[in-house]
Amino acid sequence: MDLFALAVGNLTSPIILSFALGLFAALARSDLSIPEAVAKGMSIYLLFAIGFKGGVAVDEAGLSGTLLGALLGAVVLSFALPFAAYALLRVMTRLSALDAAAVAAHYGSISIVTFVAGTSVLESAGLSYDGWMVAVAAAMEAPAILSALWLVARSGGGRQMDGELMREILLNGSIVLLIGSFVIGWVTGSEGLARIESFIVSPFQGVLCLFLLDMGLVAGRGLRNARGVLRPGLLTFGVVMPLVGAASGAAAGLILGLGTGSTMLFMVLGASASYIAVPAAMRVALPEANPSVYLTLSLGVTFPFNLTLGLAIYLAVARFLTGG
Amino acid sequence: MQTHPAKRVEIIIEEVMEKRLTSALLGADVTGFTVLPVKGGSGRSGHWSRAGQVGRATGMVSVVCIVRPDRLDTLLEAAFAVVEPHIGVVSVTDCEVLRAERF
């Protein structure tokens, strides 16, 4: 399948069209909205389901030595990407060192929804991936925050990581739920999956569609309210940085000798930007940084780019590189 | 009905700072407060809404405390240390309460 066909297939999938609907509704000022509690409930469902299914996959396929290498690679990537993002931001935009560091932290961390959408694209293409990529995703949530705080300290900001913030970052709800459900899936295996399959497998795509509808609404509202923030340099960064991250993810996948599916997911993880865990950490650690810059960039620019074009590009490149 | 003068302090602060603020209040012996969710609003950082949000970064909460007038400075000093660099509003109003011994 060529890149064009992949892109068209991706753009006409229910999950992307649901996101587009949300984006359109928000930009058109429709009163369509999803209650906060429902959105949080769907987020918990998706995290639990993806973690559980990853654990079951590991139980079925067994652990390989590659997992440790992949975890190490993920942590290194998450630490390193903020430095690349920071350098690009300082060259391409007029952001202050503080704002640039805050934005950079988002690009070293990950968006689990983009990851889930990536697994959905792989399933549509009939490609498999290692179940433990879920653990790799969890490993990339936090290190980038430390890199960003170091960048701020280096530029004279004098930020210090207190124990409470460290605890909040490492034990944030997404990480605990993802790892916890992964362990439950691993321990209970296919027998456990058979018991709850009707709940976590069949409704998954439908819930993902509704969740992406909500993400589209939130992204659209963010874009509407932050028109003055998005200068051409920032917009360009929001599209270029995911490609840099994806290239780094591809390199990691190739070094580790991963298959096509896992290499594609490593690219997705490298390319995606956090909009849940890192923004909360930045509000605590760097309150002077402008939240509308990093939230609009990660959710309003990079997230839609990855969903609409990025996933197809990453799959095509992963296939080319791994011969899959 | 007998009423007594008191001070009502309302602190609207970022949701991520809620625990830090309430810990600081407890540390200053302000043991009575109420935390309320805030649906949305607008300020110097622009318009925001909780609708559909899954993260805590854009949420705000309102922490309301009612104290005896002589406890006001202690409360404000404790709160200010947490609130100072963050988005939010701190307001103090005069009010009347029943059962003064509870404050």
What is A3-322's CATH topology? Answer: Na+/H+ antiporter like fold (1.20.1530)
Listed by start position, the domains of chain A span 3-322
Residue A153's pLDDT is: 87
Residue written as token pair 């007998």: B2
The total number of structural domains in chain B stands at 1
CA distance B21 to chain A (A): 12
- C-alpha span between A10 and A17 (Å, rounded): 9
Give the count of beta carbons closer than 10 Å to the beta carbon of residue A124: 15
Read off the amino acid at residue B80.
F
Q: From residue A247, how far is each of A143, A241, A285, A321 by CA, in Å? A: 19, 10, 29, 11
CB B97 within 8 A of CB B4: yes
Contacts of A295 in chain B (CB under 8 A): 57-58
Of A40, A164, A292, the CB nearest to B54: A40
CA distances from residue A98 to A104, A148, A156, A168, A223 in whole angstroms, order as listed:
10, 9, 10, 21, 22
Q: pLDDT per position in chain A (324 positions), as tens?
A: 567 777 787 788 899 999 999 999 999 999 999 998 999 999 999 999 999 999 998 898 887 778 889 999 999 999 999 999 999 999 999 999 999 999 999 999 999 999 999 998 998 899 999 989 999 999 998 899 999 999 998 877 655 667 888 888 888 888 899 999 999 999 999 999 999 999 999 999 999 999 999 999 999 988 887 777 888 999 999 999 999 999 999 999 999 999 999 999 999 999 999 988 899 899 889 988 988 899 889 999 999 999 999 999 999 999 999 987
> Per the CB < 8 Å rule, is A283 touching B46?
no
Q: Which domain holds residue B62?
A: 4-102
Q: What is the pLDDT of residue A160?
A: 62
Give me the pLDDT at residue A278, please: 92
Three-class DSSP category at B54: coil
Q: Report the CATH number that the domain containing residue B53 is assigned in CATH.
A: 3.30.70.120
Residue B3, φ and ψ in degrees, nearest 5: -120, 165
Tens of pLDDT, residues A149-194: 999 988 776 556 678 888 888 888 888 999 999 999 999 999 999 9
Closest chain A C-alpha to B39 CA, distance in angstroms:
9
Q: Are A282 and A289 in contact (CB under 8 A)?
A: yes
Structure-block tokens of residue A223: 């874009």
Distance CA B41, CA A314 (A): 39
A194 touches chain B (CB under 8 A): no
Closest partner residue to B51 (CB to CB) among A36, A282, A284 is A36
Considering chain A, what percentage of its residues have pLDDT values greater than 90? 73
* A289 interfacial to chain B (CB closer than 8 Å): no
Distance CA A251, CA A244 (A): 11
Q: Model confidence over A159-171: pLDDT tens digits?
A: 566 788 888 888 8
Distance, in Å, from the CA atom of A186 to the CA atom of A178, rounded to the nearest integer, reads 12
For residue A159, the model assigns a pLDDT of 58
**Is the CB of B46 less than 8 angstroms away from the CB of A226?**
yes
Nearest-by-CA chain B residue for A43: B54
